[in-house]
Amino acid sequence: MNSTEEFDVVVVGGGPGGSTLAALVAKQGHSVLLLEKEFFPRYQIGESLLPSTIHGVCKLTGADEEIAKAGFPVKKGGTFRWGANPEPWKFEFAVSPRMAGPTSTAFQVERSKFDKILLDNARKVGAEVREGCAVSDIREEGERVTGVRYTDDKGEKREVAARFVVDASGNKSRLNTKLGGHREYSDFFRNLALFGYFEGGKRLPEPSRNNILCVAFDSGWFWYIPLSDTLTSVGAVVRRDMAEKVQGDPEKALQALIDECPMISDYLSPARRVTEGQYGEIRVRKDYSYHHTSYWRPGMMLVGDAACFVDPVFSSGVHLATYSALLAARSINSVLAGTVEEEAAMTEFETRYRREYGVFYEFLMSFYDMHQVEGSYFWEAKKLTRNSSSDIESFVDLVGGVSSGEAALADGEAVAKRLNAQNQEFAEAVEAISDGDNDNWAPLLGSSVVREAMTESSKVQMHASLGEDAEEETPLFEGGLIPSPDGMSWVHA
Ligand code: FAD
């Protein structure tokens, strides 16, 4: 056993959550060690991004310039064959006046390339990054987590001490069990995803060529994400109980689902499936929708998929990972600088993170609720009004009093009513754009769930662009903290 090294922060996992956290803390001059099990580049799913990750968080870490140089397809929004209207409709990020302009875009990324850029950036701004190092356990002293144990790239067992350990090891995290609490799975989003890659698929007409395309059909829905002029990521989200059939012969199962969905069949008609390299495999993911019941304990925090993930439908995964990393970095930077007590800083992190997760959870429930197909097992189960109250109850448990500014979220029936009214309003907004002028997005902003889902993202973006000139924020709760003018820590309001 080597002698114990010491760092201010040890980060477990070098995905978008871990690299972002490491960069934002190292940039403040603190010592950071990031331990990543794999050697990058490595494969990961989650290719369609939101603008605030690129123009907000990645601007703060300094990774934005390398990302811009990488040549990823520029994503202006999403195109959906979803809801009452049989015609596809689209949503552009420029719909929000606060986001209009050159920052109203995101990218569709090959995650092996994107994640490597973020990891290299963390290294560049001062974090020590060790690849091929798998963390197996934490070190504890009483209540406090004081470091980790890991096996290095030569197979040697090592220990490292730290004032904070951040678990960013993704959905397969084992360390999160050391936090206390447990992982709670969502009934509503309990689906299964089956995905592969195709060369030569069709593209949407300009200006939507690089949009994500989401197509609902009887058995679920498809994503169709252009990763280059010729490469497309294609995935089906279906009922969880199809697992056995899917695992028996994933290739046949994916093809049968494609055949069931006319628009995706048409788009893939000139294409061939990639059968080699990182994209050669058809992959299956299930049980990906969950949240951990707490996000921190003294000396330890969870960010990204280690803490929670909702559903692939609106590209929120990398946003939640990088946003939670920003919140966690602000808390750690404030405590290490001695300006905020640990309890207050961690409460701020957890409350804001839980709120953002709740906002997306609610938005995505509305998204599913909007598409109805009589007699479809998949879509009937997503109809909120017909659902048992257990979904509402789990939603209430999940967000506590922090979602959508709702102070008293204890009454399941009242919440169900509010959600149903919102869903109706959202469905009407979508109908208004798909019925008429497809370039007038204004009705979407009239829908409260859409506004909510965009609010925090646009604040992060404004902060990164304007720095000290950004509007001062108000605390989220009484006695809460606000971001410092440079966005890197918390200050008392
Ligand atoms: P990860 O990206 O999983 O990174 C975790 C890292 O930790 C990995 O590199 C891993 O090797 C490392 N690690 C694991 N264990 C250890 C250990 N013991 N020691 C050291 N290192 C370790 N999100 C989007 O934004 N857009 C999408 O279009 C999208 N589509 C999705 C589709 C599906 C079907 C699913 C399931 C998810 C999708 N997501 C999407 C979500 C997205 O994949 C994740 O939210 C995102 O990758 C989370 O980032 P992360 O940094 O938390 O974790």
List domains and CATH numbers for the chain.
5-73+106-185+289-355 (3.50.50.60), 191-286 (3.30.9.100)
What local confidence, expressed as pLDDT, does residue 407 receive?
43
Decide which of 463 and 321 is more confident: 321
Can you give the pLDDT at residue 404?
A: 45
Read off the amino acid at residue 194.
Answer: L
Q: Which residues pair with 301 in a beta bridge?
A: 166, 296
Asked whether residue 205 carries a pLDDT value surpassing 60, the answer given is yes
How far away, in angstroms, is 170 Cα from ligand 1 center?
5
Q: What tens digit of pLDDT does each residue of 1-12 get?
A: 456 899 999 999
Atom of ligand 1 nearest to the CA of 40: 9
Give the per-residue pLDDT at 442: 67
pLDDT band at 405 (very low <50, low <70, confident <90, very high): very low
> Has residue 96 got a pLDDT over 70?
no
Residue 49 CA: nearest ligand 1 atom is: 25
Return the amino acid letter for 221. Answer: W
Atom of ligand 1 nearest to the CA of 35: 20
Residue carrying the six token digits 């811009």: 68
Q: Report how far ligand 1's centroid is from the alpha carbon of 45 (Å).
A: 7
359 pLDDT band (50/70/90 cuts)?
confident
DSSP E strands in 37-156: the ranges are 74-75, 77-81, 89-92, 106-107, 128-131, 134-141, 144-151
CA angle (402, 405, 407) in 5-degree steps: 70
Residue 398 has a pLDDT of 63
The residue type at 290: Y
State both tokens at 287: 């049980």
pLDDT digits (tens, 9 = 90+) for 125-170: 999 999 999 999 999 999 999 999 999 999 999 999 999 999 999 9
- Please list every protein residue whose CB sits less than 6 Å from any atom of ligand 1: 12-18, 35-38, 44-49, 134-135, 168-170, 172, 193, 235, 285, 288, 304-305, 309, 312, 315, 317-319, 321
The rounded Å distance from CA 128 to ligand 1 centre is: 21
CB-based contacts of 372, cutoff 8 Å, min separation 6: 84, 379, 383
Looking at the CA of residue 306, tell me the nearest atom of ligand 1: 52
Instruction: Report the pLDDT averaged over residues 453-480.
Output: 80
Q: What percent of the chain is predicted at pLDDT more than 90?
A: 64
Whole-angstrom distance, CA of residue 392 vs CA of residue 410: 10
Q: Residue 42 Cα, ligand 1 centroid: separation in angstroms? A: 11
Q: Measuring CA to CA, which residue among 480, 460, 479, 481 is closest to residue 471? A: 460
Instruction: Return the pLDDT at 250.
Output: 93
Using DSSP bridges, classify how beta strands 5-12 and 32-36 pair: parallel, antiparallel or unpaired.
parallel
pLDDT at residue 479 tops 50:
yes
pLDDT tens digits along 407-459: 445 566 777 777 778 888 888 888 777 655 556 666 677 777 777 777 788 78
Estimate to the nearest angstrom the gap between the alpha carbon of 335 and the chain centroid.
Answer: 26
Ligand 1 geometric centre to CA of 205 (Å) = 31
Q: Give the integer Cα–Cα distance in Å for 393 and 224.
A: 33
Amino acid making up residue 362: E
The mean pLDDT value for 43-53 works out to: 95
What is the C-alpha separation between 417 and 475, in angstroms, rounded?
Answer: 28
Average pLDDT for the chain: 89
CB 255 within 8 A of CB 248: no
Atom of ligand 1 nearest to the CA of 115: 2
Q: How far apart are CA 382 and CA 387, in angstroms?
A: 8
DSSP tag of 345: H
Q: What is the mean pLDDT of residues 24-53?
A: 97
Residue nearest to atom 53 of ligand 1 (CA): 170
Pairing of the two strands 144-151 and 157-167:
antiparallel
**Structure confidence by residue, pLDDT tens digits, 235-273:** 999 998 888 878 889 999 999 999 999 999 999 999 999
**46 Cα distance to chain centroid:** 8
Q: Would you place residue 394 in the very low, low, confident or very high pLDDT band (cuts 50, 70, 90)? A: low
Residue 285 C-alpha to ligand 1 middle, in angstroms?
12
Q: In testing the pocket of ligand 1, which one of 309, 320, 360, 457 has its CB within 8 Å of the most ligand atoms?
A: 309
Residue of the CA atom closest to atom 15 of ligand 1:
169
Q: Which residue's alpha carbon is nearest to atom 44 within ligand 1?
A: 317
Cα-to-centroid distance, 44 and ligand 1 (Å): 6
485 token code pair: 């003018």
41 CA to centre of ligand 1 in angstroms = 13
Closest CA to 188 of 321, 416, 378, 50: 378
455: left (phi over 0), alpha (psi -120 to 50) or beta: alpha
Quick one: which of 271, 253, 269, 267 has its CA closest to 79?
267
What does the pLDDT average to over 70-80?
A: 94
pLDDT at 86: 83
pLDDT band at 346 (very low <50, low <70, confident <90, very high): very high
Pocket test for ligand 1, best of 33, 305, 360 (most atoms within 8 A of CB): 305
